[in-house]
Structures are given as C-alpha cells and as structure tokens.
Structure 1
Amino acid sequence: MQKTTHPGIREFSVAGAEEGPYGIAAGPDDALWLTFAQSGEIARLTLDGQVSRYSAGSASCRPTVITRGPDGALWFARSDGHIGRITTGGELTEFALPDLAANPFGICAGPDGAMWFTEMSTDRIGRITVHGDISHFALPVAGAFPSFITPGPDGALWFTLNQADAIGRIDLDGEVALHSLPGGTAPVGITCGSDGALWFVGIAAGKVGRLEVDGTLREFPLAAPGAKPHAITAAPSGDCWFTQWGANRVGRITPDGHIAEYDLPTAGSEPHGIAIGPDGAAWTALEIGSVARITHDH
C-alpha cells in the first residue's frame, strides 16, 4: 500500500461551500461539467479554472450524477423526479418522470443510443431516449437502493444495489441478473475498466471490488476502515480512480490491485464525483465548493 500526500493536486474554487459541487463529467468541449446539488445549478469548468453557471431547474431540484450523452449534450439526474439535459451552450431541457418521487440518481449512456438511469426510491431502472421517451424495468428485489450505473463490456448495463449488497446487470431487453456481494459491502460507484471487468466501491466495507462478467469477484481493502469510498471512474491507462469522502482522499487502483491513496490538501473537503478530464488527469468534485485536479507519476 502506497500513500502519497502531494502527488500533484491543484484545487479550484468553483462555488460557495453551501452550494456543492457533487457530480462531475468530462464534456465534449474540453471542459468539465459539474452539478451543484444545493443550489440547483450546472457549471462548466475549463482546464484553467474558468467557471460558467447555468440553471438546472428550480433551486431545489438537486442535480446529482452527470454524464456525457450520445448527442453531444450533458445529461443528469435530479432528485425531484426529473432527468435533465444541457447543451454545451447552456440550453436546458427537463424531462419529468412518471413518478416524481422516484429519486433518480445514477445515469449513463447505453450502447443503444439512449440514456439509462437508476431510481433509488422505486427499485427500477429507467431508459430515456434523446427525444425524451421514457420506459422502465422493475428490479426483482425491494428496497435495494439502486445507485450508480455504467455500460458494461458485454453490451449490457451494470449497476450497484446499495442496500441489497449486490451488483445488477440489465440487458437492452430489460432482463435483469443479480450478483451477490458479501454482507455489509453497500456498493455505490461502479465503472467498466479497460480490462473488461466491472470495478466498484463498497462504501460500508471500505473496499474496492472487481467483478468479471462471469461473476468472479476480487476485493481490495483500503487503508482506513472508515474511508467511505463513493465514486469510481476508469482511466484510459487501465487504472481506476475513486473518491474516499470519509478519509478525505482520492485513490487509484491498478488492474492488478495495487492501491495508491492521496490526501486532499483541504481538511473535510468531502470528495464525491470523479472523472477523467480531457487533459488525462483525475478531477474530483469537493462539496466544500471546490474541484481538485490530481495527477501522478507513471
């Protein structure tokens, strides 16, 4: 286990501490896009720290996870029961879900040209076309709290079931399969690695997991039992980067399971979303109102 205090971290102030940010994604315009969950806004951050802010809807709409869509726009989930779409020019479109209490959270682009999302309060997976047509698929478990979702290496979508201690798989026809995890894992973030496996983080167990499509599981514990890893993203290098809001760190894991952990310079910064920027660095959203850019020596 390697621990590095100063791997090359630069922080950018982007908002007030009471505004967020929460989610982060690389856009098609060589910029980072953020959700401000507390102020109901979307922000664009250039690589040199310039910030533009746009409304995500009402001030209380609580945008969370954001991702790039197949149409060149950014798509995001809103806790008020909407899916949002914003162009790189700041034009917003809102799509209301049939159940406004559904609490959508994770969202990703699927291999079918549509966006797929989780609904934490309804135990469903949703699909929305770029034109706004919505369909739903029920999960075979209640109270599972589906969280993040990612396209897999097999043409299906993979997602975490935080309260069911499981990873789910849904194909484009809506067929669902579940892979059980050890009790007390509470998976949240998930991503597809360049090695063809699904990498996820267990917020309660303090571990990073690697799941192959055949169900083979490996787990890698973190240094701090209370690390509370939250989000994870795959880098083109083959590594995965993840946030640890309980330990105030960002971690990096290689395909063979070697973990490096980097302390963030500001105490209590609450790192949540993480993405690989257009410059190849890892960028993480800090709820204290900042974004951190992290690099390391190969």
Structure 2
Amino acid sequence: MTRPLLPRQTRYDYHPLPGRKDYSWPGGKRLAFVVTTNIECFAFGAGNGHDPAKTGEPQTHRNYSWRDYGNRIGVWRFFELFDELRLPAAHNCNSLLYEYAPQVMDEIRRRGDEIVAHGRTNAENHRGLWEADEERIIQDVVGMFARHEGRRPTGWMGSGAYETSWTPDLLKEAGFRYLMDWPMDDQPVWMRTRSGPILSVPYPIELNDSQVITHRRQDASEFCDQIVQQFDEMVEQCERHPLVMNVSIHPNIFGQPFRLRLLRQALRHCLENAQDKVWRARPGEIAEFCYSLPPGVIPGSEMLQDNV
C-alpha cells in the first residue's frame, strides 16, 4: 500500500461543495448571517496578547490598556449597536471575565445573547499542553460558566483558535456540541472525535477584524467593504447552496468610534438587503438546526450515530 505524500488530518473528509445535499435554514432562508464578538481578558505584563504596533512586542502597560479598552468602552458600544440594528449576537467569552469584568457578563445575560466558551483567558493558549492539563482547563471553563449562568455553553472557540491534537476529543467528552476553530468551510461540517462526531460551525479567519486590522495592517474601510462584498456575493451563491456568513469583531478594534461608524453602515447593508434569503442567527442556533437534520444532509454525517 502506498503511503500518502503529505501528513493528513483525519477529523473530516473531503466533500466538494457542488456534490453536497441541498437544504434550507429555518423559514426557507438560504444564508445564515452571524455576528460574533470576542470578549477577552489578559494578564498584565505577562502571557500572550497582540500589540497595536507590531507582532512580537513584549507585554507592557500600553498594549494591555489598548486591549482593555474593549471591555471598558468598546463592548458597550457593540451592545448599543446591536440594539439599534435589532441584531442577535454571540460572544466568544473568556471565563475569567467573571472575575475581571463581571458587568460585561451581566449585560450579555440580560440581553439573552449566546455565550461561546473561549478558554480562560487569551493570555494563554493550549499549544503544547499535556492532555490531562488541557482537560482540566476545559473543565474549569465549563464549571465557571455553569456556576454563573446556571447552564454550560454548547459551543467552543479556543483562545486564539489554537488546539492540541486532542482538543476536539476533549471538547466532545466535555459535552460541547460544536466548535469554531476550523475555518475550512462555508457550511457546517461534522468532525470525527474518539467519542463520536462534533459539529464545526463556520468561523472566519478572513472576515475577522483582528486579522485584517492588527496583522495585515488594512484599515477599517477595507474590512467593512469586505463585509459588504462577502454578503452580496453570498446572497447570490446561496441560491445554489445554503451558506453561513460569520463576521468576527473585537471590541478593542471596532469599538473605536472612527471604526464603529463604518461597521454600522456595513451591517445595515447586510440587514436591509435580500432579507427574504437571510436568517439572522447565532452559532448555537445553527448547530441545533444541523443536529435536527437527518443523516446524509450535513457533510460528514455518515459518521453520525443514533445517539448524537
């Protein structure tokens, strides 16, 4: 038997888009439109964290306070914007926010928004962890959310979207129903774990303000134009295939006033056009809808068992 030339992942199989089964979102909609914020807390002078000037800079009071702006100011502007646009939202939240900025979590609870578990803090990621250590962190995160909310999150987005080789296995075994760490598709896809399948819900590495503004040094108008262009193209393509458009924003980046105005315009464009095709959704709602579909519809569903 010939060995493959390249190392391969075994979490999902190759399913080209044209050969997939067709389906529609609730109400016959064809494009699930999602806005996901990233609400994070960081260690002061230690650990990981982006710098507004360049990558690889040491952790200082300056870059700490730049990020902290998001929790003190930016996220509250996001809440007002979502109210203004009547837009449902999901929030990737570090569990240590309960200790650092509990008022933020109180407001998310009051609004009825979805909480997606986002690790303990973005000052750490899971790369290089032993399995038992990563399992303890995941359980600590689940316990923190359950104690404060009376229920645990169903979705996971890793700190920095980093994983170990066994992260999906641990997430499935911890009771998570979906994850958003794998940006390989515009549709939900079932992924293998050693304890049964878990759903991957699309989450962008491209339509992500941290990537665009912090890493690629593009400006706010370019990011907001990308939102509009992505929406207009997907509205056309979703006539042939049901799709998910997820927009990722960080309150320390687009919570800045000069960027917020452009974001408002871009989101308003998405919410005022082609609404006969658009489902304003949260990732957890997308996941639950996919769980309700019969095997054979969602890519990878041949691995489903009766007890999924």
Q: Which TM-score band (shorter chain)?
A: under 0.3
Per residue, is there more strand in 1 or in 2? 1
Per residue, is there more helix in 1 or in 2? 2
Give the alignment's TM-score, normalised by structure 1: 0.27
Higher-Rg member (1/2): 2
Higher RCO (C-alpha 8 Å, min separation 6): 2
